[in-house]
Structure 1
Amino acid sequence: MDIDSASTPLFSCGLDLAGLAVSSDLLYYSWGAISELRTNPSRHVGSSSLSVEYREYRVRNYRIIAFIVSPVTEKYLLEGSDLVPSSDIPDFNFLCSKSNPEFSINRAAKALFDSVCGELSSLKYQVKEGAKSTPYIVTGHSLGGSIASLFMLWLLNALEPTTTRRPLCITFGAPLLGDTRFQQAIYQYSTWNSCFLHTAHRDVPFPSIFPAMDYRPFGTFLFLSGSGKACFEAPGSISDLLMRMKPERGGNQELQDIHYGSTIQSLRSNVVCKDVTELSRREIESYKAGIIAQLTSIGLLQNEDEARNSWVDKKIVKPEKAAITQKREMFDPARKLNDVKVNMAQLEWYKKMNENGGYAYYDSYKIKRLMRDHRVVEFKRILTDYWEKLVEEVEKKPQKEDVPLRKEWLYGGTNFRRMVEPLDIADYYKVKGRRDYWNGGRLNCYKKLEKWLKKAKKPDTSLNTRKQNIRSSMTEDSCFWAQVEEAMIACEAYNNGNEGNFERLVEFETYVFGLIERYAVSPEIFLPDSTYMKWWKKYEGILTRRSARQPGLHNSKLVPFMKNSRYQEYKVGKYDPSEDDE
């Protein structure tokens, strides 16, 4: 099977997903909590024209937080359908990012949320603690669903994903909440969009009441009617279906309530799906057949001729296929982690083989004397592509903290940087005349991974532990070999008469010994043919000539370390820097 055909969805699972949602207890219990709150309201919070009520319920193993808003007319909603920019919504600045710096949400929903924001702050803290052991559902009806969605986003931003159970937000007949950029802001978090299930009844105009050109859906939509159910995820197809389901009605009457409870109960008790066996065999075996079954189930298609209408392909099938393909192609670092581990293991083997042969892997790769030096190029490419993509995706997302990578990814990225960046440095300086790798050749992913590691403030490993692990260690400064190359260039310049480079050489000498004292440099640098040892021979010659002219002027810790071959002790973890101070 070729890649293209393998990535094309063959079947639509929307009908099965809709059936699963309806038959589960979650919808039923969520609507039950809303009904209980409407029947026994405990308080009113909000303006004189609208009031917000919410309450937390415990139902079996769940905790359900329900929101409702006093009934309003369609005319009232339309009058308040304008959008508020994110600059006026400081509580949701966490959704802004470099790639999506602003968005807008419905003014009425924003005002209602603001009216209870103070009280919801304490509720958010309670849920944050409770979600460590108990699954939460946040639910709401009509505008209460809008408040529930905003609270859910607020909550998701506060939760620690590694220690808490991610809540689920279920809304019933809620109007669309924000514009395209708001939708994109939510999509920046790969898991957040899947936390929202919006239920829309065919006879309820709420979800489609605002202008389609200004508002866009997010999350998954469950469409219900008296005869069936359907489930869609693509924003384009959802928008089109909402408009097609919009009932004709007057604008100033109070919006009638649809009792979702009886509809859900009816659909739970009866598997209702209109017969689609009249469709051609070809369509039955296609992805489109699943879409047609869903549209037929909720009464939007009546016969085969209508099913073949171009709007089904253009407005529903195509967007839904695209949404599935996009989800499959979405960069998932966890899914590709095994490939990363395999290629890192290959590089570790490559490093060890070169050390056994008397070469630093940096130098072997630079001159490419053996076949394995050429094969390693592919391992390097795969790893670099992975981490470049990961850093790029992380930077696109809103940043809640100074260190946007979880600990395990940050340390994995550090190992990658220390192992692979020397190979990039080798490629860079292999071209004659190149200088200043940091500004001329360093990839952004290396810069970001190093910056994030520094901000993470990882505790230093003890010196004894470093000594014990020195044989398998990597040089901590991934730009070490660039420093060596620049020092080599400085030696050549000095020997050509530019003695001003001596200060640069002294700085490098101090830098190297600082690494040695902390056991922060790999012992491979002391292999006889390494670029570092070549530098030392050049530098030793410079020091000898300067000493002949001006004896005793140069005081150095590195010089006796190198001249007395103390690096042989360093290689096996026996060198003690404190002995040099005695």
Structure 2
Amino acid sequence: MPMDTPPRRAAALSDDDRLLVDHCAALSFPSGSRSPTSATAAASSFQVHHASRPYPCAAFVFTPTWSAAGWMPDAGGRAPFGDAEVDPAVFPSLRSVGSGVPARASAAFMAAFTGLLDGSPLQSEVSRAVAEEKRIVFTGHSSGGSIATLAAIWFLENCTRRGSVNQAQPFCVTFGAPLVGDNIFNHAVRREGWSQCILHFIMPLDIIPRIPLTPLASSREQIQSVLDWLSPHSPNFSPAGNSLVIPEFYETLLRSTLSIASYEACSFMGCTSSILGTLTSFIELSPYRPCGTYLFLTSPEQLIVLTNSDAVLQLLFYFLQLDPQQQLLDAAARSLSAHWQYESIKQCVTQEIACVDYLGAISSSLPGRPMNGTAIGGLELSKEAMLSLAAAGQWEKQREINQAKIDANCSKIQEALKSLNEYKRTCELHEVSYYDSFKLQREVHDFNSNVRRLELAGLWDEIIEMLRRRELPDAFEGREEWVNLGTSYRRLVEPLDIANYYRHSKNEDTGSYLCKGRPRRYKYTQKWREQLLRIPLGSSLESCFWAMSEELQAEMVNGKSFQDLKDRVGKLESDALGWFTSGSLGKDVFLSSSSFVIWWKTLPEQHRSASCIARLIPP
């Protein structure tokens, strides 16, 4: 049954965007042929083109590879899907900030890109274009689009790390690009706000974007057959010649895509069945997931625009659902042919093509309406497809609702922090550090502050657990207001957790606070700040000053000599001076009654006289 609700318009491509997309399509298919020049190379290469419309820009065009070795160069010892951890030196932001788990991406595509970085003038050409104040554009067809995606992210990493606030974000346009990274890859790109820079144009039936969803290691020969047929210098598709290999691979791809789409749909629908765990124990699922903004050309007049990765994954399966009357061989042939139909985009984008938000339309049409299916641009979707898409949209909306609830707690957190700041000031008026006062727990205000500490712990632990369960939007950890609030919380309250830890001598049973006792709420908020400021991991440990001091004191009590600990003492002093100078460590640390000062004065005179913090210590 067709939808009664008219499709919603998504954010339309601007006139400048349309010109750039048209330019990218012309460069990716330069002469009306099936492929760019040099597309037969086994490894990716690039060309750079300069243009003045719609504004000065430099377009870097990456050519595809038609060799299976370019998809999985080393079958031995690699993961079955050809994925590997990203290189943190090249892509430092492609990781989960809180857990520190790095993203995984296609090892072959990463090798091709880093090969261009190291062995071609790519970096110098990009730098020259930036110096000339040109907007940087990355584009490519097929696997060239995957390399273009990595290039765009590399540029965003470098542009952000250099703090080039005046440099326009790059524009990345791909045509039929294979999936390149996993869930963490997608999460990191969305967290950094880069998704809108990366546009993937996809023909609904194109086989190439879906190939990474199959086990590459066991399908190497079949993939080569597919690439041989698609290669611009191979003979046209022959049903007789490929009747065994290509349809067989197409069927494998359908099964793999079904397994992944079903598993992910169960996950965001909230299915708690143990069958999910059982499934992944005997069926290895591809780690690759969509990343960026997807535009499905479902008709010459209509683009389906999706930024929801879960919904894109569902469509990658449901667009391939076979018509009961259609032969597998015919379906495989149509899927192959679709990979060379992107030139039509050049005509579409220069017209007023409709950019449609069907995810919103489907979500709003479902409640109370039994439906058998809906047509999107002439492609019929089943009821199951509609339900999966609606669930993907609802999951995204629920994460936004969860974020709104968390935002509503912001005032509670700020009020509790205000109370603890007053506690800290009161202690300083009595010439006592609030750390030492809290550790002794002799006054009523010490008890009240402990209540505030516990209240805040509950609020922040809830946030961290929601992040771990992916119940908040990917961009949450990059929101500056929450990074700043988390930093204020960590610097003010973590010393109280440390005081409580050592007050109860937990270090004697459990181990040091830093190694065994530090809660995730402090680890996460520290890493948020380090990621936002692009500073080295572990460089924002100022809130753990007291834990470092406590450990040094405990080790000396347990028999270690100053000589054994001299380097660590010097490091703590140096760090303390830097933190104090920057304002991230309070002056109460250096009060005459401070337990740190009292301990420091027991150190050898020769060391104290030469110490970098000697001038901060009261006589």
- The answer, yes or no, to whether TM exceeds 0.5 is yes
What are the equivalent positions in structure 2 for 1:47-62 lying under 5 Å apart? Answer: 54-56=47-49, 57-61=51-55
1:235 and 1:407 map into 2 onto residues whose CA distance is 24
Equivalent residues of 2:152, 2:172 under 8 A apart: no
The structure with more radius of gyration = 1
Match of residue 257 from structure 1: 341
2:159 and 2:486 map into 1 onto residues whose CA distance is 24
Task: Give the match's secondary structure for 2:331.
Answer: coil
1:334 and 1:284 map into 2 onto residues whose CA distance is 26
How far the C-alpha of 1:36 sits from its partner, in A, is 5.4
Equivalent residues of 2:202, 2:295 under 8 A apart: yes
RMSD, aligned α-carbons: 6.3
User: 1:219 corresponds to which letter in structure 2?
Assistant: G
Task: Summarize deviations over 1:317-356 as a string: whole Å, max 9, x none.
Answer: 1123224444676899999988776654432221112333
Equivalent residues of 1:140, 1:146 under 8 A apart: yes
2:38 and 2:553 map into 1 onto residues whose CA distance is 69
Match of residue 369 from structure 1: 443
Match of residue 86 from structure 1: 84
Task: Give the match's secondary structure for 2:199.
Answer: strand
Task: Summarize deviations over 1:364-413 as a string: whole Å, max 9, x none.
Answer: 4342532574245335653797599889999x9xxxxxxxx999999988
Match of residue 299 from structure 1: 378
| Count of aligned positions | 477
What are the equivalent positions in structure 2 for 1:409-420 lying under 5 Å apart? Answer: 419-420=492-493
User: 2:341 corresponds to which letter in structure 1?
Assistant: D
How far the C-alpha of 1:260 sits from its partner, in A, is 0.5
Equivalent residues of 1:144, 1:174 under 8 A apart: no
Stretch moving more, 24-33 or 414-423: 414-423
Q: 1:14 to 1:341 in 2, by over 3 A?
A: farther
1:63 and 1:118 map into 2 onto residues whose CA distance is 20
What are the equivalent positions in structure 2 for 1:230-379 lying under 5 Å apart? Answer: 230-246=304-320, 248=331, 250=333, 256-258=340-342, 259-268=344-353, 296-301=375-380, 309-313=383-387, 315-326=388-399, 343-356=416-429, 360-366=433-439, 367=441, 369-370=443-444, 373-375=447-449, 377-379=451-453
1:30 and 1:188 map into 2 onto residues whose CA distance is 25
**TM-score (normalised: structure 1):** 0.59
Q: Does 1:65 align with 2:65?
A: no
Task: Summarize deviations over 1:75-99 as a string: whole Å, max 9, x none.
Answer: x688976554437989967557886
Equivalent residues of 1:176, 1:207 under 8 A apart: yes
2:128 and 2:492 map into 1 onto residues whose CA distance is 44
Task: Give the match's secondary structure for 1:221.
Answer: strand
Task: Give the match's secondary structure for 1:250.
Answer: helix
1:457 and 1:323 map into 2 onto residues whose CA distance is 32
Match of residue 465 from structure 1: none
Task: Summarize deviations over 1:273-326 as a string: whole Å, max 9, x none.
Answer: 99x99x9xxx8566899xx9x964423348xxx6xx23311x211123224444
| Alignment gaps of 5+ in structure 1 | 1-11, 397-404, 459-473, 491-499, 544-553, 560-569, 578-582
Match of residue 443 from structure 1: 518
Match of residue 550 from structure 1: none
Task: Give the match's secondary structure for 2:333.
Answer: coil
2:16 and 2:59 map into 1 onto residues whose CA distance is 15
2:54 and 2:348 map into 1 onto residues whose CA distance is 22
> Could you tell me the percent identity over the aligned residues?
17
Match of residue 105 from structure 1: 106
How far the C-alpha of 1:107 sits from its partner, in A, is 4.9
Using CA pairs under 8 Å that are at least 6 residues apart, name the structure with larger relative contact order, 1 or 2. Answer: 2
User: 2:501 corresponds to which letter in structure 1?
Assistant: Y
Match of residue 22 from structure 2: 31
**TM-score (normalised: structure 2):** 0.56
| Alignment gaps of 5+ in structure 2 | 73-80, 213-252, 257-285, 321-329, 471-477, 609-614
2:61 and 2:85 map into 1 onto residues whose CA distance is 26
How far the C-alpha of 1:174 sits from its partner, in A, is 1.6
Equivalent residues of 1:234, 1:319 under 8 A apart: yes
Q: 1:349 to 1:111 in 2, by over 3 A?
A: closer
Equivalent residues of 1:137, 1:167 under 8 A apart: no
Equivalent residues of 1:135, 1:167 under 8 A apart: yes
2:124 is aligned, of 106, 122, 125, to 122
Equivalent residues of 1:222, 1:232 under 8 A apart: yes
Task: Summarize deviations over 1:493-536 as a string: whole Å, max 9, x none.
Answer: xxxxxxx97978xx99xx89x979989984587688x7689x79
Q: Does 1:428 align with 2:428?
A: no
